[in-house]
């Protein structure tokens, strides 16, 4: 059995100041640091005596979350650019208000790009897919992945074995600090036991 635990990074400064997240390299807020410690404490209790491998986006807010969680479970995260949030191009470093006022293309399908230099959802999918395949085929039985909301929504769709076009109509999207448990059982069936469980930050 393989257990994949995904952690959406905790509260970041951009959650509080109206700025775009994406590839802008925000740090965690003071509350976000506390939330990450709570996740670490809770996972430590649940994962006692289990061998764990942890991967994280290399963007600061995810990296900080992973490092804090890792302190509690005594694991050093492996940083992966593939786990970065979707790149929104020229609006990085701008406010959400600026994004809404200057968007070039309204996003209706997985192939639309909000800005000419941004990633589409398909671009994000293609970036993530080799890493996803690697961990699904690995011998690791407990994997923690710390990443971002949009990226983890794509990850959830992949895990369920769905085609990317499903994202045109529906998706499973979590919240900052949410913890999900995805299970690949011994018969090869993929199960979601928890999705964006917010009790871990309490």
Q: Tell me: the pLDDT tens digits for 99-113?
A: 999 999 999 999 999
pLDDT computed for residue 168 by the predictor? 97
Half-sphere exposure at residue 138, Cβ-oriented, CA atoms within 13 angstroms: 17
pLDDT (0 to 100) of residue 152 = 98
Euclidean distance between CA atoms 155 and 128, whole angstroms: 8
- Could you give all domains of the chain from N- to C-terminal order, each with its CATH number? 2-201 (3.40.50.1240)
Residue 6, CA distances (Å) to 90, 95, 100, 107 in order: 28, 28, 29, 26
Q: How far apart are CA 202 and CA 188, in angstroms?
A: 33
Q: Are 178 and 162 in contact (CB under 8 A)?
A: no
Q: What is the pLDDT of residue 14?
A: 97
The predicted model gives 58-66 an average pLDDT of 98
* Selection from 46, 39, 45 nearest residue 70 by Cα: 39
SS3 state of residue 142:
strand
pTM for the whole thing? Answer: 0.97
Query: Residue 41: which pLDDT band, with cuts at 50, 70 and 90?
Result: very high
Confidence at residue 29, expressed as pLDDT on a 0 to 100 scale = 98
The stretch 3-14 carries a mean pLDDT of 98
Q: Give residue 116's pLDDT.
A: 97
């Amino acid at each position: 059995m393989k257990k994949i635990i995904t952690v959406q990074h905790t509260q970041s400064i951009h959650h509080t100041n109206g700025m775009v997240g994406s590839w802008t390299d925000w740090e965690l807020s003071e509350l976000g640091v506390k939330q990450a410690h709570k996740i670490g404490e809770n996972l430590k209790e649940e994962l006692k005596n289990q061998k764990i491998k942890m991967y994280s986006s290399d963007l600061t807010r995810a990296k900080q979350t992973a490092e804090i969680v890792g302190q509690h479970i005594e694991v050093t995260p492996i940083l992966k650019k593939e786990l970065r949030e979707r790149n929104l191009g020229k609006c990085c470093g701008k406010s959400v208000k600026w994004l809404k006022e200057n968007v070039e293309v309204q996003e209706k399908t997985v192939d639309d790009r909000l800005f000419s230099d941004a990633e589409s959802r398909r671009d994000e999918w293609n970036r993530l897919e080799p890493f996803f395949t690697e961990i699904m085929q690995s011998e690791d039985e407990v994997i923690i992945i710390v990443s971002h909301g949009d990226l983890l929504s794509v990850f959830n769709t992949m895990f369920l074995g769905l085609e990317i076009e499903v994202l045109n109509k529906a998706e499973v999207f979590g919240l900052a600090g949410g913890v999900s448990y995805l299970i690949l059982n011994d018969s090869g069936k993929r199960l979601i036991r928890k999705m964006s469980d917010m009790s871990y930050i309490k």
